Chains A and B, each alone.
Chain A
């Protein structure tokens, strides 16, 4: 591997943004046929580096070499023409177009080059590529009809269609189910087996272990290590990435079974979000000091459950009580008044008002308490925000920083600060750590456990089984809008069975 010049090599790449050095003299090299993981926390400079490789940014210093030859990109198109294709976390697809049309878009050498449009000309090619790399997708399907996993396949197909030699995948598993992720890993291996290079960006150690040959760890814009993946352990990688030992939160409590029921849901049904699953007759009780987790594959009604309890989605039948107070249907304020906190899955869209300053976001629910009639008490809001920034270690310019200038982890801290303020009795946390890096995950987990220890009834809705196993006292599985309790909290097999829609009682051998 070392003898031939690397397929892609970065030498001394430095990129500065106002106030930060995003990449500081980064050296990086990946060989043909290699899956090279780029590991680092959010903000470590992975994205900047990948944007430099894919032509979106120009480095302030340093050079990029492809097979030993220095290159320079003025646009993403230059990089594509040189054989580098990046699959962004937010897909760059035209949703109303068909898969074939998306491939033709910008095509400069294939069958779609002609003035006259003939999407039919590429469908065979799409099918062939799909079969070869396990990326089955109907070339005539419109992108908006596809699942997130399928859309990702389209992006990868686009790269293969453009004959990319270097494929950069930016956090590709963030949007996938575990099964889809496993299939993606096979595809990635397949692509590398052709002699192409895959740069796999991630902040998850087990993925890096599963898929890569070598790994380069970035921290605070610098390369801290490059290693053979086989020789690294998740612990050693985590230490390199974070720069200290991590305490993974492990929590088990017994004896909550006789505590006061706080969040009581009975016979709850609710209509669906778009074409997703309706909620069917859900019963649920969370006691004080308990963390109850709802597991399940995304789209089985978890979002509907959270929203119906929080009052954001009108329920068609059933009741919700918090500490004995029934919540009015479709009235989030009554939920808040009763002491229900809600950490929504859509952090930026629902969790905060992106354009409002942090101070206002923290007061979004409580501004009526003690406001002067119609006037807001800005001074007090500022003070509270300053206190929250300190308590929750929120990294922000200050109380005036708009919420959308914060990183995902810090936005989540803002949401927690708001929800934990006041008289919290029950909390719904929907995918509270999705997309967060390990340190942020640790923080969020600690806050959830602290809340439970203070006697808050916590309903954790998550697709991350590791998270559920680490935190939950009891587990329920959501499948097609129904909730089934898991008999044995530690029986991963039973949970998986329920998540796939099976009935462990009948599936178990008699």
Chain B
């Protein structure tokens, strides 16, 4: 039963979808505060390389190394996001230009690549990796075994994050304030909410999430450092936020759907099922969908109707007159 195609697809969808989920949650936090962060891909790559480097360096228990690896990845993402926040919130630079610049700067021919070769990380297996933590017997349970109990701790942590982010945005006072800042910074400012502080904090925390997303590649999914290892996952994460109508729980659904698509081609191949050039369409679907959704939302008004924060991408200047 656990070999049924659907079960396998969902189980690997969860695994492959996890970096997308972390990335999307981070982007969601930033966008809800009104900051579009197109630097996710770059932050993921830097997080990936720094996490990998950390676990190679740390001697001691595997758990310690892995936790440190994730923390270092989060920190690296946060530092990059802080640059973005400074440029777009304080200097009011174009959010699109700044985000793209960060991705190019940190991307497969930039910082992450340089770090990878300078720290001599390529072509080595990770010294420590995340594994499934539940006993094999539980992983063997029908259906829930592989899907729920066969995952690594980063997956479980992401579930906690989904609930936390969702609850925070929808049910708490600071969450209400973030949404106000993203919707109508003028109204928020008039009520004494520090727009700049909120935008900084959420952009930076969002960057940390992107860093963690990167670490899931090098510490769990494909535990090695390869240049450009994220393969555009950062872009998919940004599109996911739109697919998910800026809601955390829908980010999870979307992330796992795209994750499952990635797993579909190899799985079908393994089963000798041919659906034409399967790999072509399964692997391209997330990107095509991303392009389509980005085109759709750039239509005037469309984004607004889908639930985009009204002031997304708009720098805030206190009205002086």
Give A residues with C-beta under 8 Å from B.
47, 56-57, 75-77, 80, 88, 90-97, 101-102, 104-106, 108, 112-117
Q: Is B302 an interface residue (CB 8 A)?
A: no
Q: How far is the CA of A95 from the CA of B188 in the complex (A)?
A: 12
Is the contact region of chain A dominated by helix, strand, or loop, or is it mixed? loop
Interchain CB contact under 8 A, A47 and B183: no
- B191 in complex: contacting residue of A47, A92, A113, A116, CB < 8 Å: A92
Q: How far is the CA of A90 from the CA of B193 in the complex (A)?
A: 18
Interchain CB contact under 8 A, A94 and B180: yes
In chain B, positions 189-214 with a C-beta closer than 8 Å to chain A are 189-193
Q: How far is the CA of A113 from the CA of B172 in the complex (A)?
A: 10
Interchain CB contact under 8 A, B176 and A104: yes
Is the contact region of chain B dominated by helix, strand, or loop, or is it mixed? helix
Supply 15 A–B pairs (Cβ within 8 Å), ascending by A: A47-B321, A56-B318, A57-B320, A76-B189, A88-B190, A94-B180, A97-B179, A97-B183, A105-B180, A105-B187, A105-B188, A106-B193, A114-B173, A116-B173, A117-B175
Tell me, rounded to whole Å, the shortest Cβ–Cβ distance linking A56 to chain B: 8
Q: How far is the CA of A249 from the CA of B189 in the complex (A)?
A: 43
Interchain CB contact under 8 A, B190 and A115: no
Tell me, rounded to whole Å, the shortest Cβ–Cβ distance linking A31 to chain B: 26
B residues near A117, Cβ cutoff 8 Å: 170-173, 175-176
In chain B, positions 219-258 with a C-beta closer than 8 Å to chain A are none
Q: Is B177 an interface residue (CB 8 A)?
A: yes
A residues near B179, Cβ cutoff 8 Å: 94, 96-97
Please give 6 more A-B residue pairs, beta carbons under 8 A apart, in addition to A76-B190, A104-B176. A76-B189, A77-B192, A92-B190, A94-B180, A97-B176, A105-B191
Given A47-B321, A101-B176, A92 and B192 contact (CB-CB distance below 8 Å): no
Interchain CB contact under 8 A, B183 and A116: no
Q: Is B310 an interface residue (CB 8 A)?
A: yes
Given A105-B180, A106-B188, A116 and B193 contact (CB-CB distance below 8 Å): no
- B172 in complex: contacting residue of A76, A92, A115, CB < 8 Å: A115
A residues near B191, Cβ cutoff 8 Å: 76-77, 80, 92, 105-106
Q: Is B184 an interface residue (CB 8 A)?
A: yes
B residues near A47, Cβ cutoff 8 Å: 321
Tell me, rounded to whole Å, the shortest Cβ–Cβ distance linking A221 to chain B: 14
Tell me, rounded to whole Å, the shortest Cβ–Cβ distance linking A445 to chain B: 27
Q: How far is the CA of A94 from the CA of B186 in the complex (A)?
A: 9
Tell me, rounded to whole Å, the shortest Cβ–Cβ distance linking B317 to chain A: 13
In chain B, positions 275-321 with a C-beta closer than 8 Å to chain A are 310, 318, 320-321
CB-based nearest A residue for B175:
A117
CB-based nearest A residue for B184:
A94
A residues near B170, Cβ cutoff 8 Å: 117
Q: How far is the CA of A88 from the CA of B191 in the complex (A)?
A: 12
Tell me, rounded to whole Å, the shortest Cβ–Cβ distance linking B95 to chain A: 20
Q: How far is the CA of A75 from the CA of B190 in the complex (A)?
A: 8
B residues near A96, Cβ cutoff 8 Å: 179, 183, 310
Interchain CB contact under 8 A, A105 and B176: yes
Interchain CB contact under 8 A, A80 and B173: no
CB-based nearest A residue for B307:
A96
A residues near B174, Cβ cutoff 8 Å: 115
CB-based nearest B residue for A91:
B187
Q: How far is the CA of A92 from the CA of B321 in the complex (A)?
A: 15
B residues near A80, Cβ cutoff 8 Å: 191-192
CB-based nearest B residue for A108:
B192
Interchain CB contact under 8 A, A116 and B189: no
Interchain CB contact under 8 A, B310 and A95: yes
Tell me, rounded to whole Å, the shortest Cβ–Cβ distance linking B201 to chain A: 16
A residues near B184, Cβ cutoff 8 Å: 92-95
- Count residues of B near A (Cβ-Cβ below 8 Å): 24
B residues near A105, Cβ cutoff 8 Å: 176-177, 180, 187-188, 191, 193
Interchain CB contact under 8 A, A94 and B189: no
Interchain CB contact under 8 A, B192 and A106: yes
Tell me, rounded to whole Å, the shortest Cβ–Cβ distance linking A333 to chain B: 22
Tell me, rounded to whole Å, the shortest Cβ–Cβ distance linking A171 to chain B: 14
Interchain CB contact under 8 A, A94 and B192: no
B residues near A116, Cβ cutoff 8 Å: 171-173
Tell me, rounded to whole Å, the shortest Cβ–Cβ distance linking A47 to chain B: 7
Tell me, rounded to whole Å, the shortest Cβ–Cβ distance linking A469 to chain B: 34
Q: Most chain-A CB neighbours within 10 Å: which of B172, B174, B179, B187?
A: B187
Tell me, rounded to whole Å, the shortest Cβ–Cβ distance linking B256 to chain A: 28
Q: How far is the CA of A3 from the CA of B170 in the complex (A)?
A: 51
CB-based nearest A residue for B321:
A47
CB-based nearest A residue for B186:
A92
Tell me, rounded to whole Å, the shortest Cβ–Cβ distance linking B278 to chain A: 42
Interchain CB contact under 8 A, B175 and A95: no
Given A80-B192, A106-B193, A94 and B173 contact (CB-CB distance below 8 Å): no
A residues near B318, Cβ cutoff 8 Å: 56
| 7 nearest CB pairs, A to B | A77-B192, A106-B191, A92-B190, A92-B187, A94-B184, A94-B183, A106-B192
Given A93-B184, A95-B184, A76 and B192 contact (CB-CB distance below 8 Å): yes
- A94 in complex: contacting residue of B171, B175, B188, B321, CB < 8 Å: B188
Tell me, rounded to whole Å, the shortest Cβ–Cβ distance linking B258 to chain A: 28
Tell me, rounded to whole Å, the shortest Cβ–Cβ distance linking B26 to chain A: 22
Interchain CB contact under 8 A, B173 and A104: yes
A residues near B183, Cβ cutoff 8 Å: 94-97
Q: Most chain-A CB neighbours within 10 Å: which of B177, B191, B310, B318?
A: B191
Q: Annotate B162-174 by CB proximity to A: 1 below 8 A, 0 otherwise.
A: 0000000011111
Q: How far is the CA of A94 from the CA of B183 in the complex (A)?
A: 6
Tell me, rounded to whole Å, the shortest Cβ–Cβ distance linking A165 to chain B: 17
Interchain CB contact under 8 A, A97 and B173: no
Tell me, rounded to whole Å, the shortest Cβ–Cβ distance linking B173 to chain A: 6
Q: Most chain-A CB neighbours within 10 Å: which of B172, B175, B180, B190?
A: B190
A residues near B189, Cβ cutoff 8 Å: 76, 92
Tell me, rounded to whole Å, the shortest Cβ–Cβ distance linking A84 to chain B: 12
Interchain CB contact under 8 A, A112 and B186: no
Interchain CB contact under 8 A, B187 and A112: no
A residues near B321, Cβ cutoff 8 Å: 47
CB-based nearest B residue for A75:
B192
In chain B, positions 132-188 with a C-beta closer than 8 Å to chain A are 170-177, 179-180, 183-184, 186-188
Q: Most chain-B CB neighbours within 10 Å: which of A94, A97, A102, A113?
A: A94
- A115 in complex: contacting residue of B173, B187, B188, B193, CB < 8 Å: B173
B residues near A88, Cβ cutoff 8 Å: 190
A residues near B171, Cβ cutoff 8 Å: 116-117
Interchain CB contact under 8 A, B187 and A93: yes
CB-based nearest B residue for A102:
B187
B residues near A75, Cβ cutoff 8 Å: 192
B residues near A115, Cβ cutoff 8 Å: 172-174
CB-based nearest A residue for B318:
A56
Given A105-B180, A106-B193, A94 and B187 contact (CB-CB distance below 8 Å): yes
B residues near A97, Cβ cutoff 8 Å: 176, 179-180, 183
B residues near A108, Cβ cutoff 8 Å: 192
Tell me, rounded to whole Å, the shortest Cβ–Cβ distance linking A57 to chain B: 8
B residues near A77, Cβ cutoff 8 Å: 191-192
A residues near B172, Cβ cutoff 8 Å: 115-117
